[in-house]
Structure 1
């Protein structure tokens, strides 16, 4: 095709053919039945100055710049939606992360309950060499638990009140527990009945998220749970109170006192979980 100036103009191979346009009317008047041609194309940004003061530059540089910008926008979108975390997890084979908390096979040795043993004494059967605890290591998760039974000190009652303190730690290896953690704890609210009410409150300064579940029986605390999630590790410390005989008047600790006791022991236990387990630690070569 030749322009009025005599210069040859090559057709644009990338131009998308538009709809059929009727020819103009005689005398150069536009045809009223012609189809609209649509909005004008966006102008192409000028390239960097070429040597000698001209404009232009290789088109692949501008394509690369556009790709970098698009990648940055896409990464920001993934971060905002959490998809980047899932994608990164998939690249790593879906491997879990436990925020530095290690598996410990004997939670009765690792879990700290000094705040409770300062107030109560351990039941005789819990002072044996075979405490009430267990651990398991499976493909999907590892778990370790210890349950302790305590009594009021120097008590001659035939039916002294029992205090149960249970510590459970789970390392989730196949699924991220963050999406269900809070919901599982809030499900206690649906267990209320005529004798028990439940309150769930967040606790600051522990792991990625932490909550306290308080069960009240009338005006006293019947049980309390302090639950922590750090990465794919979940921790739970549970206090349960079983009162004495009908003619005895024992009271559990106040809600504030229990909160302080469980918070102190939880922090001590989490610190201990960051240390290697003595059974799983590599043996030192005596010749070294």
Structure 2
């Protein structure tokens, strides 16, 4: 399920090209040889050989994994640094704090998340938000996109009120909560899946009267657009 980070294998290691670049200086008879003039054509030949090796390695990878999903976004180990929620904060009329983040880097998928909330104030609506970014490196997530319960199994999404968001990634959908207590925005773009959830409530009042759900949903779309532009390669 897309909403749950995949754990598949060991931590990633440096790519083949980087490994070649790091190994060359330490090899005997190469750059560390002093006092011996090297012929210019040897430098050129070395460059051709290295480029050919990298290209051959790329072809092998493409041949073994022809259907790898496209990834146009970078992994952020501290997503809270990218997650500003400016427009959502304006719609809420509150500042978010209490930021907590986490991340994982695996063979099948990289993921990171950030959660924020507004401080408690007597008689005011409280807000909480969570952002999850998943970068699928082996399997195309399109088949399972927006089919799960979200990042919080306790939430009740009103999928009957779902609507498509145009102009955001390859596909984007927004699902409001029942009783207008929040919303979830999910965006698919290649192998990347972005999930933004915003909840609002007032103590002893599940409906959180006074919150403009439509304005909050529009604010979520704008903040998601800003975040995706930041993480774009």
Normalized against structure 2, the TM-score is what?
A: 0.63
Name 1:10's counterpart in structure 2: none
Aligned match of 1:180? 144
Within the candidate set 93, 101, 111, 1:133 is matched to: 101
Q: Which runs of 4+ in 1 moved over 6 A?
A: none
CA distance in 2 between partners of 1:182 and 1:260 (Å) = 19
Residue 202 (structure 2) pairs with residue 256 (structure 1): no
Map of 1:205 onto structure 2: 167
Summarize the alignment of residues 221-240 of structure 1 with structure 2, pairs less than 5 Å apart.
221-240=180-199
* Structure 2 residue corresponding to 1:214, chosen from 176, 179, 185: 176
CA contact (8 A) 1:104 1:144 kept: yes
Q: 2:31 — aligned with what?
A: none
Once residues 197 and 97 of structure 1 are traced to their aligned partners in structure 2, the CA distance between those partners, rounded to angstroms, is 30
Structure 1 residues 39-86: Cα deviation after superposition (integer angstroms, max 9, x where no partner): xxxxxxxxxxxxxxxxxxxxxxxxxxxxxxxxxxxxxxxxxxxxxxxx
Q: Flag the structure with more relative contact order, 1 or 2, with Cα contacts below 8 A and sequence separation at least 6.
A: 2
3-state SS of paired residue (1:183)? coil
1:111 is the counterpart of 2:83: yes
SS in 1 for 2:145: helix
Distance 1:222 1:231, change over 3 A: same
Larger Rg: 1
Matches within 5 A, 1:16-165: 91=63, 93-94=65-66, 95-98=68-71, 100-118=72-90, 119-123=93-97, 126=98, 131-151=99-119, 155=121, 157=122, 160-165=124-129
Aligned residues: CA RMSD? 2.9
Structure 1: state its 5+ residue gaps. Answer: 1-88, 276-288
| Secondary structure of the structure 2 residue equivalent to 1:132 | strand
Normalized per residue, which structure has more helix?
2
